[in-house]
């Protein structure tokens, strides 16, 4: 009779950490989804990503550009999910998209030569212009004015 009792105890012990991890992950996902809905948080994340992109462009670091675009991809996916649920996407979400596009185009441009490089940098420059306009609109939305957001365009021109 002792054998089955020990097995049940071991099964309960194995289920405990799994349940704790599941609850922790569900709570973290709910918190991140909630913060992704707030334009202020999206603005903060996009502004910090802007600084990373400018530094990466200055160093010609395509890996950092790709990594930053991937991080912005999470914001973009959250915006797409909200749009599918019938909610509106904000200018801050569009700024994340524009900056990610500029970063990916610049990273690919750094890896290419010739005509392909020129075309990719033109795409990145037009995305940087869109980013600047989206950030201005985002600043109006959250009632904050932090700057002109032309640093990405300037860094691309320096390349």
**Contact (CB, 8 A) for 76 and 49:** no
What DSSP letter does each residue of 91-159 carry, written as one string?
A: HHHHHHHHHHHHHHHHHHHHH--HHHHHHHHHHHHHHHHHHHHHHHHHHHHHT-------HHHHHHHH-
pLDDT computed for residue 2 by the predictor:
55
Q: 8 pLDDT exceeds 80? A: no
pLDDT tier at 146, thresholds 50, 70, 90: confident
- Asked whether the beta carbons of 101 and 129 are under 8 A apart, the reply is no
- Interatomic CA distance for residues 79 and 96, integer angstroms: 10
Better-predicted residue by pLDDT, 146 or 128:
128
pLDDT at 19: 41
Which stretches of 3-80 are assigned E, i.e. beta strand? none
Chain segment 88-144, per-residue pLDDT in tens: 889 999 999 999 999 999 999 998 889 999 999 999 999 999 999 999 999 988 887
16-68 tens-digit pLDDT: 444 444 444 444 444 444 445 688 999 999 999 999 999 999 999 999 999 99
pLDDT at res. 33 = 47
pLDDT of amino acid 39: 86
Whether the full predicted model's pTM is greater than 0.75, yes or no, is no
Distance CA 149, CA 135 (A): 7
Task: Determine phi and psi for 38, rounding to 5 degrees.
Answer: -90, 120
Terminal-to-terminal C-alpha distance of the chain: 76
Confidence (pLDDT) at 94:
94
Tell how far CA 16 is from the center of its chain. Answer: 34
Contact 152, 99 (CB under 8 A): yes
Higher local confidence (pLDDT), 146 or 76 = 76
Question: Cα(59)–Cα(74) distance, rounded to whole angstroms?
Answer: 25
């Amino acid at each position: 009779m002792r054998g089955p009792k020990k097995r049940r105890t071991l099964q309960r012990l194995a289920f405990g950490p799994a349940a704790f991890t599941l609850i922790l992950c569900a709570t973290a996902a709910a918190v991140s989804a909630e913060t992704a809905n707030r334009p202020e948080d999206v603005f903060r994340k996009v502004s910090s990503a802007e600084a990373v992109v400018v530094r990466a462009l200055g160093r010609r670091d395509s890996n950092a550009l790709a990594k930053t675009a991937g991080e912005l991809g999470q914001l973009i996916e959250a915006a797409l999910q909200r749009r599918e649920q019938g909610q509106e996407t904000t200018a801050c979400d569009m700024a994340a998209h524009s900056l990610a596009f500029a970063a990916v185009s610049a990273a690919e441009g750094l890896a290419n030569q010739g005509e392909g490089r020129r075309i990719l940098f033109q795409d990145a420059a037009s995305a940087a212009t869109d980013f600047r306009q989206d950030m201005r609109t985002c600043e109006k939305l959250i009632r904050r004015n932090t700057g002109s957001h032309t640093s990405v365009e300037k860094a691309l021109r320096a390349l």
